[in-house]
Amino acid sequence: MKKDNKHKHLKPRDPKKTLIRLFGYFKYNMPLFLIGMLSIILSTVASIAVNGLLSPIIDAFVDKAELAVVIKYLVITVVLVIALSIFQYLGNLSMARLAQRTVHRIRQDMFSHMEKLSISYFDTHSHGELMSTYTNDVDMLNQSLEQSLSQVIVSIITVIGTFIMMIVLSPTLTLVVIGMLVIMMSSVSFVGKRSAKNFRRQQGALADMNGYIEEMMSGQKVVKVFNYEDRAIKDFSERNEELRQASTQASTFGVMLMPIMGNLSYVLYALVSMGGALLVLKNRMTIGNIAAFLQYTRTISRPITEVSNQLNTLFASLAGAERIFAILDETPEIDQGDVGLVTKDDNKFWQVPQENGSHELVPLRGDIVFSNVEFGYVPGQRVLKGISLFAKPGQKIAFVGSTGAGKTTITNLINRFYEINAGEILYDGIDIKSIKKFDLRSTLSIVLQDVHLFEGTIADNIRYGRLDASDEEVVEAAKLANAHYFIKNLPYGYKTVLDVDGQNLSQGERQLLSIARAAVADPTILILDEATSSVDTRTEKLISEGMDKLMKGRTTLVIAHRLSTVRDADAIMVLEDGVIIERGDHEELMKQKGRYYDLNMGTIKLD
Amino acid sequence: MKKLLPLMKKYIAFAIASPILMILEVLADIIIPYLMSRIVDIGIANRDIDYIVKIGLIMIGAAMLGILFGVLSSFAGAKAGYGFASEIRQETFKKVQTFSFANLDKFTVSSLITRLTNDCNTIGQTTMMSLRMAVRAPFMMIFALLMAFRINPSLVSVFLVSIPVLLVVLTTVMYKARPLFLEMQGRVDKVNGITQENLTGMYVVKSFNRQKHEEERFRERNDRLRDTALKAISIVIVLFPIMNLIVYGTIIAVLWFGGHQVQAGTMGGGELISFITYITQIMMALMMMSFFFMQLLRGSASVSRISEIFETESEIKEVSTPVKIVPNGNISFQDVSFVYPSSTEETLKNINLDIKSGETIGIVGSTGASKSTLVQLIPRLYDVTKGNVLVGGIDVKDYNLKDLRDQVAFVLQKNTLFSGTLRENMQWGNEAATDEEIIKALKQAQAWEFVSTYKDGLDHRVEQGGDNFSGGQKQRLSIARALLKSPKVIILDDSTSAVDMTTDAKIRRSFKEDLSDLTVIIIAQRIASIEDSDKIIVLHEGQVESFGNHETLMRESPIYKEIYESQQKGVLME
């Protein structure tokens, strides 16, 4: 079901499109972007000018010119240096702000979008992959925007500006520079290509290794129990060796570029010194010209090295940006409902629009009808095959059947986590497709087997059911759920802060909390996925009592694992393979001597 | 670090070669500006074209040597750095494999993962950087200073002002920025935390209509992250303009003082130019050193986290001449008491039990009654604090651990399958298991009924953690995997909780019929799963409350009776 894309793409498929979309985000901070660009351009130009001033200054000294001339040039230099620093500060600050705000916005967009995606999206995409896009890819993008963006601009301007100055100083030497730059560029692309290839191999090996480590560490106790240590070490060694080789090669090529480019620029330095000296002898250049030109040869090669050094990271973060945009492009959950919930005189009604523009008010009662419902998570694989059933307001319907029979699926359709393929589901006589999802779900509560709690206090977690619940209401709900007693005994009571996902509570306590959470929501329809394991009998008793109290006066759908809890249901549906094979109350089903009877007998005695 | 350094041994030649080659490269870089000054001051002054060309060629030669040394140095550095990292990773992983359950409890899973991944990578990168930067920067600075001094000692005094100023600026910025970066990391964790929380809890978020609420919670954290990041970056950003001011300030000062000397004829124009090049080199070296220290701080945290693993020893030791064969499935507990390493309270108190080979034993009791703890002592996952545990009449401490655990199969409460094929997963139990043997075990564990429906049969893919199977299917596969060991004893620690009751009963029946010599110990919440056992242990607060068969316990154990009745309520036969 889950996509196996462990080896992430490190190469963007369409860099141009991604870049344009990324730059699109700058429109929210246009002034910042413009100020930043302008400042960076100004500071770069100033730094080129400062280097150029070396020429007249040194010449003035060499030619033993008047001190006033020297001082004039020096003053200009000082002014330029100060301007350069100020603009550099402004430029970097604006660009950093721009980057932070952009990433902040992207992060917010991604999160908001996540909240809007349908449940089936999360079923079909591995959480690990999504998490990695939400964290690592965003982080990479952040770094690239922060560092590389201004660097690229600086580099471009530096190269252009320096070229102009060089031509002014000496066209002949500029030709030497161009020749050398061609050599430098081709070594960059030669090394770069190998580096990129090895970088990808390294990332692949790293992902593989991290995946393996994650899996083995999570199962380390199983490893111990099965004496699997030696085999694990052997598997690990193979991956480790591959990673070592890949990393060594990737990094050799990556790091190699620095000395190559650095020293090639010294070759250029040598050529310029030599050529410059010869030109001075021919009186076509001055010593000051050489000084400035030498300074330029240093500044022109640095941006090339730096940009080429970051190329791999840049591409990787662009590929990450593509994954980010891919998530943002996922179609959100559809909601074309026009029936809303309104409150009148403390009673709730469905407001159904009529063709003539008026509204009909239908009281909210909790009446559910399934007629011929067909559904499959994956096209072609039907999980529910023509399910028809009804629940009158206040009734308790229990679903019984083995794992995979479709019990959970039925309840997931009522709150429209998934769209049915055929048939219809009516809520108080209204097709649920025409009810606004928000209003539909606000009348339903689920108590799941696998309790998910949020970071925060116990009270926060109960209040999750209804945000405006008062402290008294929270305590009231906890009492109803039989959770009050254990909460009271915690060191900070309702203010006790839960760890991530409430790991500091026992399974049973977590379930009590989730009942309290549903109680505070005061739903019309309640869906219970009964807990099965890891709860001791006393807690179990508390839980089932809590659930009983919660069910009073509400339409309840129970996914039952224990026959003791289905006995008093108004109707029991025995599901098998997506079909209801038996239905009726306990007495009726026991008389039928069918599957339900067998199940019941099996609990008492084997054979 | 002391513990880690010996791991460098294998790559020591590269670790030494890299910095030496680096120094040679630096020498080439340093000599070039000096040679240039010769061209200007001697070549041009004497109008000596041959000299100019000769020196020029020497410069090119030096640069070429620089390339050679530089490339070799990066190769050696990478080899040593990543070799070191891989040795560390290997040793860490090996060490973790020796960890006992108690050790594993102490380090959590997620902390072990980050140690093996992030920390090892950071150490590798830091090593590589250290080998290169830690050598390059100081040597660059020293050589450049020496050359500058050689060219003109009086001008070097300019550095007496600029270097301290730069150092003060660098340390101030680092000092101010560091806590902010740490804070930022914390904020990143918060943002990631809520993302993770929502990813896993999307059902709850959606069913309570809390999307807007979650977005607000996220916005709050996201805003804080942005603000902290901006604060941190704003400080670091100051560095570059100030650097520029200092570098250019130094250049201007050198131009001013040096210029006068050029005018006076005591210094050559070329010398002045090369002096300026050295200024840039010195300042760059200082910058590099400060970044290196930043990296080192990160690395040192990782080193101490890895060292922690190396310093942990498993408390479970083997005797020098261990017993290899478990003769039968008899188990006895003699006055056993147990205290968890992290606790002072006795989890188990004076346990005395005798279990015969081939018996099926059920264990019930409320949470916290230490049922899991009791059975974990049998394959010696933990060592008793007092008393003895005997398997086959021999103290578990006298066995070879591997053999004991091979013959006492344990199906954990939290069981995991591993990515690969079903066959590979089953072979965890027995590396040499044939397909027939695997199918037989799957049948006994009642897993064959769903495995046989797969088109690819035993080649069926298992996703990480076995996520593509339902809870009940995973439990049955785990039992089959344990059966493949052909054990003398099998322990099921609440291992059929997600299996429906009919299947659960079938599994027990197949144990009885096919594996009559096997001692079966079952921990269960459902009385139905254990009531037909030969004997049932009722554990209460770490002590055996009673031990007997269902009928006896119904008469003698009030706890058992209470549990039984609470579960039977309402489903008694008509």
Torsion, CA B391, CA B396, CA B398, CA B402, rounded to 10 = 100
* Mean pLDDT on A480-509: 81
Low-confidence ranges of chain B (pLDDT < 70): 1-2, 367-369, 566-574
Full residue range of the structural domain in which residue A597 is found: 395-416+437-601
Closest CA to A48 of A299, A304, A265, A306: A299
Closest CA to B123 of B294, B290, B292, B301: B301
Angle between helices B12-38 and B49-97 (to 10 degrees): 160
Residue B328 · residue B357 · CB < 8 Å: yes
Please calculate the CA angle A67-A72-A78 and round it to the nearest 5 degrees: 120
Look at residue B346 in the predicted model and tell me its pLDDT: 84
| Residue contact B89–A240, C-beta within 8 A | yes
Measure B392 CA to nearest chain A CA, in Å: 19
Measure B350 CA to nearest chain A CA, in Å: 23
Most confident range (mean pLDDT) of A151-155, A332-336, B103-107, B525-529 is A151-155
Number of folded domains in chain A? 2
Closest CA to B81 of B12, B137, B3: B12
Look at residue A503 in the predicted model and tell me its pLDDT: 62
Residue in the block written with tokens 């250290």: B130
Name B334's bridge partners: B388
Residue A387 lies in a domain: no
Tell me: do A324 and A400 sit in the same domain. no
Tell me: do A412 and A314 sit in the same domain. no
Residue A119 corresponds to which tokens in the numbers above?
């449940």
Residue A449 lies in a domain: yes
Determine how β-strand B535-540 pairs with β-strand B360-364: parallel
| Residue contact A403–B471, C-beta within 8 A | yes
- Number of CB pairs, chain A paired with chain B, less than 8 A apart: 454
Task: Count the neighbouring beta carbons within 10 Å of the beta carbon of residue B516.
Answer: 9
Closest CA to A323 of A2, A6, A1, A9: A9
Tell me: do A149 and A270 sit in the same domain. yes
Q: Looking at residue A311, which CATH number applies to its domain?
A: 1.20.1560.10
Residue A371 · residue A431 · CB < 8 Å: no
| Residue contact A122–B199, C-beta within 8 A | yes
Residue in the block written with tokens 């630096």: B26
Which residue on chain B is closest to A252 by alpha carbon? B75
* Mean pLDDT on A103-118: 92
Q: What letter would DSSP give residue A356? A: T
pLDDT in tens, A367-415: 999 999 999 887 777 889 899 999 999 999 998 877 667 788 888 899 8
**Residue A5 class from Cβ within 10 Å (0-12 exposed, 13-18 middle, 19+ buried)?**
exposed
Residue A184 lies in a domain: yes
Diameter over CA atoms, chain A: 120
Closest CA to B502 of A395, A232, A574: A574
Output phi, psi for A503, to 5 deg: -65, -15
Among A74, A115, A231, beta carbon nearest to B256? A74
Q: At which of A313, A328, A343 does a domain end?
A: A328
Domains in chain B, ordered, with CATH?
5-311 (1.20.1560.10), 331-573 (3.40.50.300)
Helix (H) or strand (E) holding A128: helix A127-132
| Residue contact B502–A602, C-beta within 8 A | yes
Tell me the percentage of chain A whose pLDDT exceeds 70. Answer: 93
Gap between the terminal Cα atoms of chain B = 73
**For residue B104, which residues of chain A lie inside 8 Å, CB to CB?**
220-221, 224
List of residues 6+ apart from A516 with CB closer than 8 A: A462, A465, A474, A477, A478, A480, A481, A483, A546
Look at residue B65 in the predicted model and tell me its pLDDT: 94
Measure A402 CA to nearest chain B CA, in Å: 6
Residue A493 lies in a domain: yes
**For residue B530, which residues of chain A lie inside 8 Å, CB to CB?**
none
Residue A255 · residue B78 · CB < 8 Å: yes
Residue A401 lies in a domain: yes
Q: At which of A328, A349, A375 does a domain end?
A: A328
- In a 3-state reduction of DSSP, which class is residue B196? helix
Q: Mutate which of A251, A305, A467 to disrupt the B interface (most B C-beta within 10 Å)? A: A251
Number of H helices, E strands in chain B: 19, 12
CA distance linking residue A286 with residue A283, whole number of Å = 7
Q: Mutate which of A51, A115, A436 to disrupt the B interface (most B C-beta within 10 Å)? A: A115
Please calculate the CA angle B318-B322-B326 and round it to the nearest 5 degrees: 115
Task: Count the neighbouring beta carbons within 10 Å of the beta carbon of residue B216.
Answer: 10
Q: Which residue spans within B120-269 are E strands per DSSP?
A: none
Distance of CA B331 to the CA centre of its chain: 37
Most confident range (mean pLDDT) of A60-69, A500-509, A535-544 is A60-69
List of residues 6+ apart from A289 with CB closer than 8 A: A55, A59, A169, A170, A276, A280
pLDDT in tens, A22-49: 999 999 999 999 999 999 999 999 999 9
Tell me: do A310 and A443 sit in the same domain. no
| Residue contact B255–A448, C-beta within 8 A | no
pLDDT in tens, A426-453: 999 999 999 998 899 989 988 877 778 8
Which residue on chain A is closest to B570 by alpha carbon? A564
Residue A521 lies in a domain: yes
Measure B337 CA to nearest chain A CA, in Å: 22
Closest CA to B232 of B181, B186, B278: B181
CA distance linking residue B248 with residue B242, whole number of Å = 10
Q: At which of A302, A328, A354 does a domain end?
A: A328
- In a 3-state reduction of DSSP, which class is residue A360? strand
Among B86, B485, B567, beta carbon nearest to A564? B567
Gap between the terminal Cα atoms of chain A = 38
List of residues 6+ apart from B103 with CB closer than 8 A: B312, B314, B315
The length of chain B, given as a count of residues: 574
Torsion, CA A410, CA A415, CA A418, CA A420, rounded to 10 = 60
Residue A287 · residue A62 · CB < 8 Å: yes
Output phi, psi for A527, to 5 deg: -120, 125
**For residue A537, which residues of chain B lie inside 8 Å, CB to CB?**
366, 525, 562-563, 566-567
- Choose between A188 and B535: higher pLDDT: B535
Q: What is the dihedral sign for C-alpha B8, B10, B13, B18?
A: negative
Tell me: do A185 and A282 sit in the same domain. yes
| Residue contact A604–B472, C-beta within 8 A | no
Among B94, B219, B379, beta carbon nearest to A225? B379
Residue A21 lies in a domain: yes
Tell me: do A467 and A554 sit in the same domain. yes
List of residues 6+ apart from B19 with CB closer than 8 A: B73, B131, B132, B134, B135
Q: Is the ipTM of this structure higher than 0.90?
A: no
Look at residue A172 in the predicted model and tell me its pLDDT: 92
Closest CA to A298 of A268, A259, A257, A271: A268
Q: Which residue spans within B386-469 are E strands per DSSP?
A: 386-391, 394-395, 408-411, 420-421, 461-462
Look at residue A33 in the predicted model and tell me its pLDDT: 92
pLDDT in tens, A381-392: 788 989 999 999
| Residue contact B207–A240, C-beta within 8 A | no
Name B544's bridge partners: B539
Q: Looking at residue A499, which CATH number applies to its domain?
A: 3.40.50.300
Residue A551 lies in a domain: yes
pLDDT in tens, A265-294: 889 989 999 999 999 999 889 989 998 998
CA distance linking residue A73 with residue A589, whole number of Å = 104
Q: Which residues of A463-474 are buried (b: 16+ CB within 10 A; e: fewer)?
A: bbbbeebeeebb
CA distance linking residue B380 with residue B369, whole number of Å = 19
Residue B167 corresponds to which tokens in the numbers above?
């150092």
| Residue contact A146–B206, C-beta within 8 A | no
**For residue A74, which residues of chain B lie inside 8 Å, CB to CB?**
252, 255-256
